[in-house]
Amino acid sequence: MSGDKEDELLDDDDVSDDEPPTPVERVRADLSKRRTIDNLLEERRLQRQLADFDFDL
């Protein structure tokens, strides 16, 4: 009996790898990429401001 349950679990894992991502997963990935890009741009902007700042006030 335990062998049959293990086979079913293994079969379920194999099917999920072949399926395309769901729209929700795709949107989450897109948002994650967008946040990463926004963070990099913000960091670059802040570094530019810091480099342009006059420390001899």
Residue 7 lies in a domain: yes
At position 22, the amino acid (one-letter code) is T
Residue 57 lies in a domain: no
Give the whole-angstrom CA distance, residue 4 versus residue 25. Answer: 31
Average pLDDT over residues 38-56: 92
CA 34 to each of CA 4, 6, 12, 13, 52: distance values in angstroms, whole numbers, following the listed order: 44, 39, 32, 29, 27
> Domain tally for the chain?
1
Label residue 39 by pLDDT band (50, 70, 90): very high
Length reported for the chain: 57
Q: Quote the domain boundaries for residue 24.
A: 2-52
29, 21 Cβ separation under 8 angstroms: yes
Label residue 32 by pLDDT band (50, 70, 90): very high
Whether residue 49 is predicted with pLDDT greater than 70 in this model: the reply is yes
Label residue 54 by pLDDT band (50, 70, 90): confident
Q: What is the pLDDT of residues 3-20, one digit of tens each?
A: 555 555 555 555 555 678
Residue 32 lies in a domain: yes
